[in-house]
Chain A
Amino acid sequence: MSVKQISIFVENKPGTMHDMTQVLADHSIDIRALSLTETEGFGIVRIIVDDVLETTSVLKQEGYVCRLTPVVIAEIPDEPGGLNRVLTIFHDNQINVEYMYATLGGGAKRALMIFRVDDDKRAERELREKHIQLIEQSDIAEL
């Protein structure tokens, strides 16, 4: 089961990230991972949270446009070649990575890598087969 990432539309101007995180802080929502991609005029903030439903309803209520996107979160041993091992599996199976970002969590000596791929079902199957530890939606609260 993939994890649901929340993608949020923000304008590229001072204060927008502050305002958005303020909304989350006001509702005691813990951000487990975050990435920001920007263009000249706007950006997309991508976050991983524990309670997706509550977070999206809070954001919508505050007037944000957001969308859920399935992502695959894999545990990567924090050692040289760790990430490469996972990417090799994608490469061998012709799975395309659209974007990825990392977050800490899950204890010492490992990182979590968040992947947006063109086929998350297949990606998960292949990773599991190669004994890569995957994070489920239900694991997010524990991170």
Chain B
Amino acid sequence: MERYFQKEIECAPREEIIRIQNEKLVKQVKHVWDDVPYYRRKMEEKGVTPEDIRSIEDLHKLPFLSKADLRESYPYGLLGCPLKECVRIHSTSGTTGRRVVAFYTQKDLDLWTDCTARAIVAAGGTDEDVCQVSYGYGLFTGGAGLDGGSHKVGCLTVPTSSGNTQRQIMFIQDLQTTILCCTPSYAAYLAETMEEMGLAPEDIPLKAGIFGAEAWSEEMRRDIEQKMGIKAYDIYGLTELSGPGVAFECSAQNGMHINEDHFIAEVIDPDTGEPLPDGEQGELVFTSLDKRAFPLLRYRTRDICVLSREKCSCGRTHVKMMKPRGRTDDMLIIRGVNVFPSQIETVLLNHGYPANYQIIVDRVNNSDTLDVHVEMTPEMFTDNIADITKRQKELVDGMKAMLGIKAVVTLVAPKSITRSEGKAVRVIDKRKI
């Protein structure tokens, strides 16, 4: 039996969702026009006024917001209400440039944690469950988001935050944790550690995992599910919009329902900015309908994704987004094939390598070459050449399966991959086109 946190809205008829979106959009555009001068200027430049936006049909008339806008308006430029109404900030890691700081009123936090509560209930959570939140707490939205949702569902919340693997496992065993929330790579690491400790899936009390905040593959899902004896659910979100819970997976485990009563999702052609019909792959754009403190309209996520309105077996009516294929700003075209560094990262993680890699693309005799440098780690190194080359071959095969083109894998010395400002340079494109 499928359970819902807010059944009425999660399973609302299509017309009802559209009615809610129309109503909220008109109000939100007015709020932004009145209270966010930065966006008002953008609207004025485009010659749009709030009167032009009467329903979601008019959404395309609004200007986009990009990460660059957020950086430019750091820290208060996109604030939608006086600071005295705000009660919290969260912030992105700032790994791709300047940090983004997002603001929340108490109501913003409340609606956000409704979303994460929906995700927990969709994963089977009830007030009987013990929910261990192993996402980082702090500026990162992962910990706070799932923590709030877990409280709303009434789970016994175990706020371990990330790290200290031995303690995580101790709590899972001692408190009989049933739901684990963390990043998929940390889940994979925990699963592996528990396996090494000799814990069979039936010895592990966990029944479900809610894993998000980074790219992961179906293989990785199956591996984690098998080792822990759980069902693993994906969750999606961005700090800019609230955090995890913008979309979440249900029992169908086939795409994530976007909380359409709080967000409007569009897919656009990343080059022209034109909206694309459902089912076509493009860049995901979100309009937040309820956020008061940080009300972003038509925010370009740079995630490449497909939306599906096919009827879902779980009974929810909200549109589903498929797992993002990668990001617009780092897509490479190699031998005519779209390649995302995140796909290569997924293969590495799935094979037990850390995501320390560098992609070198070149053109030799008019043909593109793809060379992936992977740093050797103490865990992967053995004295046996045959073992190492076998693992190397597994990586090559894994990449071929994931990308559809052949890559050369070169094992390099630890820490030899150039890092600038602490973050590795992931792609070197030597092609002169």
Contact = CB atoms under 8 A, between A and B. Distances in A.
A67 B381 contact: yes
A11 interface: yes
Q: Which of B381, B392, B410 has the most CB atoms of chain A within a 10 A radius of its CB?
A: B381
Q: Which of A10, A39, A66 has the most CB atoms of chain B within a 10 A radius of its CB?
A: A39
B416 A67 contact: no
Interface in A38-83: 39, 41-42, 44, 46, 63-67, 69
Nearest to B386: A98
B383 A67 contact: yes
B385 A44 contact: yes
A116 B381 CA distance: 17
Given A65-B376, A67-B378, A9 B413 contact: yes
Nearest to B379: A65
Interface in B359-394: 376-378, 381-385, 388-389, 392
Interface string B390-419: 001000000000000000001111111000
Q: Which of A9, A16, A66 has the most CB atoms of chain B within a 10 A radius of its CB?
A: A9
Contact of B414 (A41, A63, A69): A63
A63 B413 CA distance: 8
Contacts of B411: 9, 11, 41-42
Contacts of B413: 9-11, 16, 63-65
A40 B410 CA distance: 9
Interface in A1-19: 5, 7, 9-11, 16
Contacts of B383: 5, 7, 44, 46, 67, 69, 116
Given A65-B378, A116-B383, A39 B415 contact: no
Contacts of B384: 98
A65 B389 CA distance: 16
B416 A11 contact: yes
A12 to B, nearest CB: 10
Contacts of A5: 383
Interface residues of B, number: 18
B414 A64 contact: yes
Contacts of B388: 42
A9 B376 contact: yes
Contacts of B392: 41
A5 B381 CA distance: 14
A5 B383 CA distance: 10
Nearest to B388: A42
A65 B414 contact: yes
A37 B385 contact: yes
Nearest to A37: B385
B392 to A, nearest CB: 8
Contacts of A9: 376, 381, 411, 413-414
Nearest to B381: A65
Nearest to A16: B413
Contacts of B385: 37, 39, 44
Nearest to A7: B383
A35 to B, nearest CB: 11
B389 A39 contact: yes
Contacts of A11: 411-413, 416
Contacts of A116: 383
Contacts of B416: 11
Interface string B18-51: 0000000000000000000000000000000000
Contacts of B415: 63
A5 B384 CA distance: 13
A88 to B, nearest CB: 25
Interface in B192-210: none
Contacts of A66: 381
Contacts of B382: 7, 67
A5 B382 CA distance: 12
A66 B378 CA distance: 7
B40 to A, nearest CB: 53
B410 A41 contact: yes
A9 B389 CA distance: 13
A67 B380 CA distance: 10
Given A7-B382, A39-B389, 14 more contacts: A7-B381, A9-B376, A16-B413, A37-B385, A41-B411, A42-B376, A42-B388, A42-B411, A44-B385, A65-B377, A65-B378, A65-B414, A67-B378, A98-B384
Interface of B: 376-378, 381-385, 388-389, 392, 410-416
26 contacts: A9-B376, A9-B411, A9-B414, A10-B413, A11-B412, A11-B416, A37-B385, A41-B392, A41-B411, A42-B376, A42-B388, A42-B411, A44-B383, A46-B383, A63-B413, A64-B413, A64-B414, A65-B376, A65-B377, A65-B378, A65-B381, A67-B378, A67-B381, A67-B383, A69-B383, A116-B383
